Structure 1
Amino acid sequence: MPTRNEYMFLADLAGEAERYTDVVANIKLIIDNYSAQLTIDERSLLSIAYKNITNDLRNSWRVIDSLEKLQASRSSSASARHLSLVRRQRDKIEKELMNVCKDIVSALDKQLLPAARPGEEAVFYSKMKGDYYRYLAEFAHKRDRERFGDYSLNAYKLAYKHALATLEPLHPTRLGLALNFSVFYHDVRKSPERACHLAKSAFDDAVMSVDPSEIIMDQTMRDSMTILQLLKDDLILWSTEI
């Protein structure tokens, strides 16, 4: 059996080749054969792999959804047949996307979250759970959207409560959680008011915690500054909707 480092080498190699399903497979072998308590590098690689897989599927779904609306606006026997084929393709993508999201949520519930250390690691995984339930809520059939939205909300709430208690306001994981949680309120709950309130609170807390004389512009700080800019951009955009 390959060593843990060899599985990680293979996962890294797959990531370089953009074979993200192979990345997931190798990290899962680490979890199954060694430990569900992943290193930061292992955890980051797993997160990036799932994000790339789901982003491709979400983008495909949006394209097909737009084409379906266009096809539905036409009236002819050929258009009706084409509309049926478009819907079949959309259903196929939805099924793939649902399977991927449920796969990572299952791994989080059964292995990663139970093994997570309190603090940043637990916040990171709870945020991931909120993210993938949010994706499910975005494209699921109407009857399932509210259920997935509730699951996402509960995961985000748990993550945010833990983040407020254990992480500094400028920590990139806490800021990333605030960014995604606010997107949930805007996109899933259709509430720009709550989205702006959460984003502004996180932004203000982070800015007020900064001591300019003590800033060290390392990678962590650069990550935090990038997320702060995204929060600011969203606040500007969403405030026009209120």
Structure 2
Amino acid sequence: MSSPEKERETQVYMAKLAEQAERYEEMVECMKKVAKLDLELTVEERNLLSVGYKNVIDKHLIPSSTSGEATVFYYKMKGDYYRYLAEFKTDQDRKEAAEQSLKGYEAASATANTDLPSTRSVLV
């Protein structure tokens, strides 16, 4: 096995372990290393990357955002990640991802309507 392939395998394995331990920052770091190998990501790898970032957004970025604009941005990003997950999930998993995506977009819209002036570019 060549070096990039071995590195890929190792980092994907480590990302899965990090996910099981709910250590999402480490999961993201592992998947960033895979992305830097400049190889097309598999469906599983894309899913790991998306799950890692989604959880970092939920656990750290949304709770620590102090401006309406930042909060809207992160909720929209959360909606986007779930939408991406819904694109390749099936059956009940697809339905759940789509529902979570809608919740993210609705939270972004509600925050934008209450906390941002109508002229902010993030609303467009």
* TM-score, normalization by structure 1: 0.34
- Residue 197 of structure 1 corresponds to none
Higher relative contact order (CA 8 A, sep 6+): 2
One-letter amino acid of the structure 2 residue matched with residue 140 of structure 1 = K
- Residue 162 of structure 1 corresponds to 111
Task: Give distance in 2, aligned partners of 1:145 and 1:117.
Answer: 32
Q: What is the CA distance between 1:160 and its match in structure 2? A: 0.3
- The percent identity for this pair of structures is 36
- Residue 111 of structure 1 corresponds to 60
What RMSD, in angstroms, separates the aligned Cα atoms of the two structures? 2.5
Task: Give distance in 2, aligned partners of 1:127 and 1:106.
Answer: 14
Structure 2 unaligned blocks of 5 or more = 1-24, 26-31
Say whether the 8 Å CA contact 1:108–1:129 is kept in structure 2. Answer: yes
Q: Find the structure with the greater CA-based Rg.
A: 1
One-letter amino acid of the structure 2 residue matched with residue 103 of structure 1 = G
- Residue 96 of structure 2 corresponds to 147
Equivalence map 1:5-44=2 (5 Å):
none
Per-residue Cα deviation, 1:27-73 (whole angstroms, up to 9, x for no partner): xxxxx8xxxxxxxxxxxxxxxxx9xx7xxx9xx7xxxxxxxxxxxxx
4+ long deviations beyond 3 Å: none
Aligned partner of residue 59 in structure 2, secondary structure: helix
1:135 matched to 2:84? yes
Task: Give distance in 2, aligned partners of 1:140 and 1:96.
Answer: 14
1:93 matched to 2:42? yes
Per-residue Cα deviation, 1:65-90 (whole angstroms, up to 9, x for no partner): xxxxxxxxxxxxxxxxxxxxxxxxxx
One-letter amino acid of the structure 2 residue matched with residue 160 of structure 1 = S
Task: Give distance in 1, aligned partners of 2:46 and 2:66.
Answer: 29
Count of matched residue positions in the alignment of Structure 1 and Structure 2? 90
Aligned partner of residue 144 in structure 1, secondary structure: helix
Structure 1 unaligned blocks of 5 or more = 1-31, 33-49, 61-91, 176-242
Q: What is the CA distance between 1:169 and its match in structure 2? A: 2.3
Say whether the 8 Å CA contact 1:124–1:173 is kept in structure 2. Answer: yes
Q: What is the CA distance between 1:140 and its match in structure 2? A: 1.3
